[in-house]
Amino acid sequence: MLMLFTFEEFIQNLTLFTRGIFIFDKDGTITEPNEALDSDGVIFLTKLLETKKCIILTARNIETLETQILEKLWGNTNFQNLIFACSNGSEIYEYSDKKKYEKVSSLEGNISIYRKDIEKWVTYINEQEHLYITIEDRSDTMISLVCIPRESSKEARNNFDPDKQKRIHYGNILKQYFPLWEIIPGGSTTIDITLCTKYDGLQHLYQNYEFWSDKAIYFWDNFWEYGNDTPVMTDPIPCINIKSPKELFTFQDYAH
């Protein structure tokens, strides 16, 4: 059964408030794309972590989450309630007694054995399209192709491929060789190549923490055919479609 709600429908459904585990996509949901948690986000997440277990389920790696989320949070934050599920949830990190995040579980996979084949494809695309795509290793199950330099301006990133059609085209070329992989546009400038979808990552969380879809709720920013959140909708977990982080942060106005 498809359980997709708008934010307006969510705040009118009080039964969803009682769920103890809130799972968030990162880019476009709890932060702006490729940006750090802002001051409103810090207040929102800090308050929520007082009573809720919160999980960031994202294609990003742990280094990005440490820089863009962890370093922005206040020292008195309840970090024990905050879990990072990186690389589509194939790697799970918890806050340890050493006062840092450490990996506690990971899904099996070895995408690196295909790296030379991916490099050949990237070289071909770069030559044909006059690009400079670089390869970014994220985990044992995930590689990202960065289509323009990370240090590019926000304007350049937003203008590179706003309708995602370029990256869909490039990804479809690779799918001819690896039809069973998830190969989709990520953020505003990358192509994510992964052996594990966010559905797989969600099942990984279920198994690791022994909860099920009736105990959790998932927040994301975009429902479309090629999005990495779309596989989550094959699970019965309620999904809340957020227009922007600013809309999400108004949740604290209703959660009394």
Residue 1 is predicted with a pLDDT of 55
pLDDT at site 44: 95
209 and 153, same structural domain? no
Percent of all residues in the chain with a pLDDT value above 70, rounded to a whole number: 96
Please tell me which residue, 164 or 1, carries the higher pLDDT value. Answer: 164
Q: Are residues 25 and 127 in the same domain?
A: no
How much of the chain, in percent, has pLDDT values that exceed 90?
Answer: 70
Examine the domain organization and report whether 226 and 123 are in the same domain.
no
Residue 132: give the domain boundaries.
Answer: 111-194
- Give pTM, 2 decimals: 0.91
Q: pLDDT tens, 204-216?
A: 999 999 999 999 9
Neighbour tally for 212: CB within 10 Å: 12
Q: What is the pLDDT of residues 69-115, one digit of tens each?
A: 999 999 899 999 999 999 999 999 999 998 899 999 999 999 999 99
Last residue of a domain, one of 194, 210, 245: 194
Separation between Cα atoms, residue 216 and residue 206, nearest integer Å: 10
Q: Are residues 37 and 135 in the same domain?
A: no
The DSSP string of 66-111 is HHHTGGGS-TTS-GGGEEEEEGGGTEEEEE-TTSSEEEEEE----G
Could you tell me the CATH number of the domain that includes residue 64?
A: 3.40.50.1000
One domain for residues 92 and 204: yes
**225-248 pLDDT tens trace:** 667 888 998 999 999 999 999 999
Domain end position, chosen among 159, 174, 194: 194
Look at residue 223 and tell me whether its pLDDT is greater than 70: no
- Residue-level pLDDT at 84: 98
Same-domain check for residues 91 and 15? yes
Q: What is the pLDDT of residue 193?
A: 95
pLDDT at residue 158 tops 90: no
> How many alpha carbons fall within 13 Å on the CB side of residue 101?
22
Q: What pLDDT does 180 receive? A: 87
The Cα–Cα gap between 56 and 83 comes to: 6
Confidence at 31, pLDDT banded by 50, 70, 90: very high
